Structure 1
């Protein structure tokens, strides 16, 4: 039977749900929607970070760094055939201003990608005034994020409404790295998956309904952040508040609790569990 004839049956079986998975060993997520449209997702490019690195005495050519990112995405495009790309926030590095490096390189980055992808940007906390840098054909989305079926994509610094249909939340913002002294992987970027549960009281019969949700924290896309994160990582924590405002709000205000967690290396190996979350999130 032709695959196109099977598609209506497949859609019924999946109950209109999307699915997602990392493209190991790259910091790229693939989303397959119930409508048979595929998206690549990257987060935290931080174009312009080279300026901060330069102040530490290390010279990095911003254009060369961006060209390496474009080359990787070009290769993934040809390997997967996917022509939709979501940037999950923090496209640039400065927060409120636009630096000369960003003026020169953000449009170049996007115009290069526009030759291969339809580009969607969900702005992050570092994307102030980003509209001035966007080519006309880049889709600027709301900072609260966008939904595909049962998946919510948001940068992680805002507090979006979590609809009852949402089963997975994809975020960036945190730049997660391994925090294990003495490990050869110490300071390497990772993927994080957190399983949350919440018990809601049903008014009709006063019984509790347990709801489950999964948060996937994406690794940063810019390899320079590996170096910058190791030198500037604050592990002391403050006031018990998470570095990920979305998760902090869910746990402390919306009564969600962490059931399990998994930390994955960039090749997909499990490197940690929920006991390792404290140093990562606080």
Structure 2
């Protein structure tokens, strides 16, 4: 996923083969971003007869971020929502493991949490030193970070939007990667601009959909993938707003595996987004 090299703008790079994004600002400040941790999802999977030790799984997530912190030296962490698994309530598993997860990471990082649709009552589970952002997201220079379930205001200087929410997995029958989580990069362009080849004011926005951070979502996403047919309505409300209300159109798209290989283009988006 090659990024521009304009030093006046933020740059971002996936840390292959991990579902983690590295962001570099013009002032040399660096952030890591992850999305869709879904701590407590083990309870839902247990109902399907699959037993997973929630504390052990949480420890593995902490270990990965600890190693990345030591390798990169980055001390700022953005969590793009859905820290916990349940929507409105707090389960016993979440009471036990969300504070443990956040307290462990707060010793390493300055944390920014953008609440997702599964983060009801999340404040009760967080240490005081966690920065809770608005659900509409946060902006760093030319990049807007948001979970993807809300309709944030998109400022005129926004050139990249980083979201989670979708839990993207590849849908290609016969492929050895079928069902694996992926990165998605979509280039959006104004519909009106498409009608004029000589329009010099064409505005583009790059939408990056992050893979989910918690590996147990691989299983959950496969068995709960909901294909809504040909309604034309994306499972990303933000993308619907851009296309159906704000006159943007998908120009190009790339699907990347966790090792950075291109495994799909815009024609492969239908089964993923809808």
Coarse TM-score class (shorter-chain normalised) = over 0.9
- Aligned match for 2:189, one of 197, 203, 208: 197
Alpha-carbon distance between aligned partners in 2 of 1:237 and 1:175, rounded to the nearest angstrom: 18
Structure 2 residue 106 is matched with structure 1 residue 106: no
Kindly state the Cα deviation for residue 70 of structure 1 after the two structures are TM-superposed: 0.5
Q: Are the equivalent residues in 2 in contact too, given 1:30–1:40 (CA < 8 A)?
A: yes
Work out which of the residue numbers 150, 155, 158 in structure 2 matches 1:163: 155
Q: Supply the distance in 1 between the matched residues of 2:191 and 2:223 (Cα, whole angstroms).
A: 40
Indicate which of 87, 92, 96 corresponds to 2:84. 92
Is it true that 1:233 corresponds to 2:225 in the alignment?
Answer: yes
1:63 corresponds in structure 2 to: 55
Given candidates 16, 28, 31, the residue that maps to 1:36 is 28
Residues in 2 aligned to 1:112 and 1:237: alpha-carbon distance in whole angstroms: 42
Please give the per-residue CA displacement for 1:5-48, whole angstroms capped at 9, x wherever unaligned.
xxxxxxxx946311101000000000001121100000000001
Q: Please give the per-residue CA displacement for 1:74-96, whole angstroms capped at 9, x wherever unaligned.
A: 00000000011010000000001
Mapped pair 1:247 → 2:239:
yes
Aligned residue in 2 for 1:8:
none
**Structure 2 equivalent of residue 215 of structure 1:** 207
Does residue 270 of structure 1 match 2:265? no
Distance in structure 2 (CA, Å) of the matches to 1:199 and 1:258:
9
Contact 2:142 2:157 in 1 (8 A): yes
The counterpart of 2:177, out of the listed 179, 185, 200, is 185
Conserved 8 A contact 1:16-1:149: no
1:260 aligned onto 2:252: yes
Where does residue 196 of structure 2 map in the other structure? none
TM-score of the two chains, using structure 2 as the length reference:
0.94
Query: 1:131 and 2:118 equivalent?
Result: no
RMSD, aligned α-carbons = 1.4
Distance 1:31 1:185 in 2: 27
The one of 67, 74, 80 equivalent to 2:66 is 74
Instruction: Find the aligned partners of 2:227 and 2:192 in 1 and give their Cα distance.
Output: 34
Structure 1 stretch displaced more, 192-201 or 165-174: 192-201
Structure 2 residue matching 1:210: 3-state secondary structure: coil
Tell me by how many angstroms 1:199 deviates. 5.1
- Indicate the SS of the match to 2:203: strand
